[in-house]
Chains A and B, each alone.
Chain A
C-alpha cells in the first residue's frame, strides 16, 4: 500500500530512547470490543502560534473527558499521527515512536496522554493517511490474534492546508490515495472524517471532499474542542451500534455548530 519507505520522521527526541512497553496487553481481564481511533493531525508550519496552542489545549481537555467517560475509556484506543516538520510521525500517547518500530501507537483510552505538538515544516497529508490506514489494518490483525473484537475504526484527518511534497511544494500526488481510501470506506474498514480548519482554501476543501465524501467539513477558525467532542459522540454511536443516519446527524450538528434547542 505504501510507496514511501520512510514515512516517519526521526527526531532527536530523548523520549524515543526509552520506548514504553507499559501499554501492551495491560488489561488482561478486559475482553471488551475495541474501538480504534486515529487522530491524523496537521502540524505543518501554517499551524504555528495560536492554532497549535489551541490544538494542544483541546487535546488535553479531550483527554480528561475521555478518562472520565466510563464507556469510551472502556473500549476506545487512541493513536495520534502528525504530519508536519519533514514528514509523518506516529505517537504512542505522549511519546514519539521511532519510524522503524514495530510498537503499535494505539493506547487504551483510559491511559492515553496527549503529545505536546509543535508546528513546523511541510504537509505530507497523503502519506499520513496512508500510514493511518496501515496502522488501523495492523491493529485489526493484532486484535484478532488476541481474540479481541473491534468496532469500525474512526480516522479523523484535520488540516488547514493543501498536501505538499517533501520540499513543501503543492503536489497532486494525493490523488493516488483516493481510489484506495474510497474502496476501504466502501468496504466499511473505517469511518474517515476530514476536517478543514483555519483559512483552508477551496482547493483544500476539494481534497477533503475527495478523501471523505461522507464526512468532510470546512470550518471557521480552529474549533478543535468541538471536533474532538464530535469524535467522542461518533464513538458513542458506534458502541451503541447506531445506523449511518445517526453518524450523519452527529456530523451535521458539528458542522453547523448548532446547540440542541435550535433544531
Chain B
C-alpha cells in the first residue's frame, strides 16, 4: 500500500558490538524478535547464528547456567542423516558486552521459512502458506513421532523441557523438530550436581500442578507432549478448547486444564466449536493415550502416558496409514473405513490439506474431482526414505530404552 518503508525505530543505533566467547561481532540494528524477557538479534555477516540478549541484567544463576550448558552436548552421538537439523538449539557461545558483563548467548539460527513454529501447522491457512504441498495427516503423525522421540531422549538424559509449547518448537519441511528455548530447560549438571530449575511456562500447555507453582517435571512435559500430539493429529484442535456449559464469563484453556475439562474425555461438559474434529480421527491406541492424559492424567501426573508410550503408539501407526484414493494429501488412520478429510470437505466445503479450487464460489461445496494438482512424485520419494530411516532409528532407540528399563527394573 505504501511505497516507502519507514526508517523509524531506535534511530542512530546502527547495530551493537558484543563479544561471543571473546570474538567481537556486530549485532543487527533491530531485533528479529523481542519480548518482555529478551530480544533476539542476528549477527551481521553470519546468517547461521542468532544472539539472545536478556532485557534485565541476568543474575549470577543464569550466567552459571549458561556456563555449565556450554560444557554439555546433549542428544549427541545419534545417527542422523545430514538433512536433519539438531533437536535442540543449544547455546554455542556466551555473549558479553565490551565491559565483560554477561548479556546472553549465541545459538544456531532456526528461522523461517525453513523452520516454522509448530503453531504454523494448526490452521489450514498457515499450512497452505508455510508448507505448500507438504502436509498431510501422515506428515503430522511424523512430526508427533519426532516430538515424542525428542522428549523421550531428553528425559533419558535427565533434561526437562519445562516450557514446552507450540511456540518454542520449530518444524522443517521434512517434519523434523527443534526445541528453541534451551536456556529454560531444567537439569542437574552431571559434573557438579548443581540443579537448574525451569522458570518459564506457557499457560495453554501447563499441567495443573505446574499452574499451582510446582516445579517442572518429566510428567509436566508428558502433559504438554500429549496436548501437542493431539493438536497435530486433529489438525490443530486444542484438547482443552470449548466453553464449559457451567462456566462464568471468562473461560480459557488454562481454566479448562485446571478443571480437568476436556471434550476428548467428556464432550458433554462443553460447547464444542463447530468444525472441531471428532476425537475418533485418532487411531484407538493413540486415543486411549489421549483419554488417559486428558482424563485421569490431568490431576494425577502418574496416570499420564510417558513420552515413550506415545512414541511406541505413534510408531505403530506410521506403518499403517491409509491413503485416500480420491484426493491428494488425504491420508488417515488405519482404523477408519472412509477418508475423514473427504467427509469434512463435503460437510464444510473446506479441504484441510489442499488449496481451494481457484475462484470457486463459497456455496459451491460440491467436491469437484481433480480440482487440485497432484503432488509431485519427487516430493513423495524422500518422504518414504526418511520414514524408513526414522523407523529404524526409532526401533534402535526403543530397544536401547527398553534395555535400560529392563536392566534398571
Contact = CB atoms under 8 A, between A and B. Distances in A.
A162 B270 CA distance: 46
Given A27-B124, A225-B9, A32 B167 contact: no
B119 A250 contact: no
Interface stretch (A76-84, A140-148, A163-171): A140-148
> Which of A116, A229, A237, A260 is most buried by chain B, counting CB atoms within 10 A of its CB?
A260
Nearest to B41: A260
Interface string A74-111: 10000000000000000000000000000000000010
A58 to B, nearest CB: 7
A249 B36 CA distance: 6
A173 interface: no
B62 to A, nearest CB: 13
Contacts of B125: 27, 110
Interface residues of A, number: 55
A239 B163 CA distance: 13
B8 A226 contact: yes
A61 B166 CA distance: 25
Given A144-B243, A151-B252, A253-B55, A260 B119 contact: no
A241 B202 contact: yes
Contacts of A28: 274-275, 348, 350
B126 A148 contact: no
Given A54-B6, A260-B31, A70 B119 contact: yes
B255 to A, nearest CB: 8
B125 to A, nearest CB: 6
B175 interface: no
A50 B249 CA distance: 42
Given A28-B275, A241-B254, A261 B123 contact: no
Main secondary structure of the interface of B (DSSP, over half): loop
A33 B253 contact: yes
Contacts of B276: 29, 31, 147
A259 interface: yes
A241 B36 contact: no
A240 B202 contact: yes
Contacts of B57: 263
B352 interface: yes
A254 to B, nearest CB: 10
17 contacts: A22-B362, A29-B123, A29-B277, A31-B275, A32-B238, A54-B6, A57-B5, A70-B117, A71-B119, A144-B251, A226-B8, A237-B35, A240-B167, A241-B206, A260-B34, A261-B18, A261-B53
Interface of A: 22, 25, 27-33, 54, 56-58, 60-61, 68, 70-71, 73-74, 110, 114, 116, 140, 144-152, 188, 223, 225-226, 229, 233, 236-237, 239-242, 246-247, 249-250, 253, 257, 259-261, 263
Given A149-B256, A250-B35, A253-B36, 10 more contacts: A32-B241, A58-B6, A60-B2, A68-B112, A70-B130, A239-B202, A239-B204, A242-B36, A260-B53, A263-B57
The list of the 7 closest CB pairs from A to B, nearest first, reads A241-B203, A28-B275, A147-B271, A260-B39, A147-B273, A31-B241, A70-B120
